[in-house]
């Protein structure tokens, strides 16, 4: 699943890339490592306004859920079961894209976990998501799908990956409610002890 991401580009570059204004430029989130379990605010665009980048908390808090809802369970949403899960089935029209320039996954290799940075040649791209609003505060989940390409080699236990887009027209088409093919031709850099481009 996807619980670790990064967004290291400045607000102006993000604005230009996604043809959207930054809502809160003074607090624009930049980080080498967002950890989903900390529920960080990261930049997203919703289908309410595709020309506005908002800072929204990762970890969906459904509008109907209690205040003490455990958002660890709604950091991700499997695309195959969106229509079945109570947290997601009634908000499938609440589409968003999460702005990133990479994410992290761990490969299980002979009893060890090897960390990889996954990206698109250091370029910005987007992950598909859904959002909801609880007590006036938005939050989101990242949609995942079956692993393809190099992600089958890296995420070799759960065989999942985020549903991603690199082309702006596909991002907009997703936000407009259409079914869009996902991008999976990622690049991967092995981190930790032996750093280097593997794929």
Residue 152, domain extent: 4-197
A 10 A CB-CB count for 51 gives 10
Say if residues 184 and 149 touch (Cβ distance below 8 Å): yes
Continuous segment of H or E residues that includes residue 152: helix 151-154
The pLDDT of residue 197 is 45
Say how far apart CA 167 and CA 74 lie, in whole Å.
26
Counting the structural domains of the chain, the total is 1
φ and ψ at 100, to 5 degrees? -145, 165
The pLDDT of residue 84 is 97
Q: What is the DSSP letter of 153?
A: H
Taking alpha carbons only, the member of 188, 42, 186 closest to residue 115 is 188
Taking alpha carbons only, the member of 169, 181, 175, 36 closest to residue 92 is 175
Low-confidence ranges of the chain (pLDDT < 70): 192-199
The answer to whether the predicted template modeling score (pTM) of the entire model surpasses 0.85 is: yes
DSSP-based three-state secondary structure for 51: coil
- For residue 27, give the CATH number of its domain: 3.90.1680.10
The burial class, CB within 10 Å (0-12 / 13-18 / 19+), for 192 is: exposed
The pLDDT of residue 139 is 99
Taking alpha carbons only, the member of 138, 130, 125 closest to residue 171 is 125
The pLDDT of residue 193 is 55
């Amino acid at each position: 699943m996807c619980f670790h991401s990064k967004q290291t580009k400045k607000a102006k570059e993000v604005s230009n890339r996604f043809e959207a204004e930054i809502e809160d430029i003074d607090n624009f989130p930049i980080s080498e490592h967002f950890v989903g379990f900390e529920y960080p605010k990261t930049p997203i665009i919703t289908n309410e306004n595709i020309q506005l980048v908002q800072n929204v908390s990762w970890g969906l808090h459904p509008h109907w859920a209690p205040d003490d809802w455990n958002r660890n369970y709604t950091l991700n949403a499997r695309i195959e079961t969106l229509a079945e899960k109570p947290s997601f089935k009634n908000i499938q029209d609440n589409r968003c894209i999460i702005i990133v320039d990479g994410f992290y996954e761990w490969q299980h290799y002979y009893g060890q976990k090897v960390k990889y940075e996954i990206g698109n040649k250091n370029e910005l791209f987007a992950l598909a998501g859904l959002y909801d609003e609880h007590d006036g505060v938005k939050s989101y989940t990242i949609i995942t799908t079956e692993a393809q390409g190099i992600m089958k080699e890296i995420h070799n236990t759960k065989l999942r990956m985020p549903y991603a887009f690199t082309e702006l027209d596909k991002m907009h088409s997703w936000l407009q409610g259409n079914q869009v093919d996902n991008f999976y031709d990622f690049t991967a850099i092995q981190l930790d002890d032996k750093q280097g481009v593997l794929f």
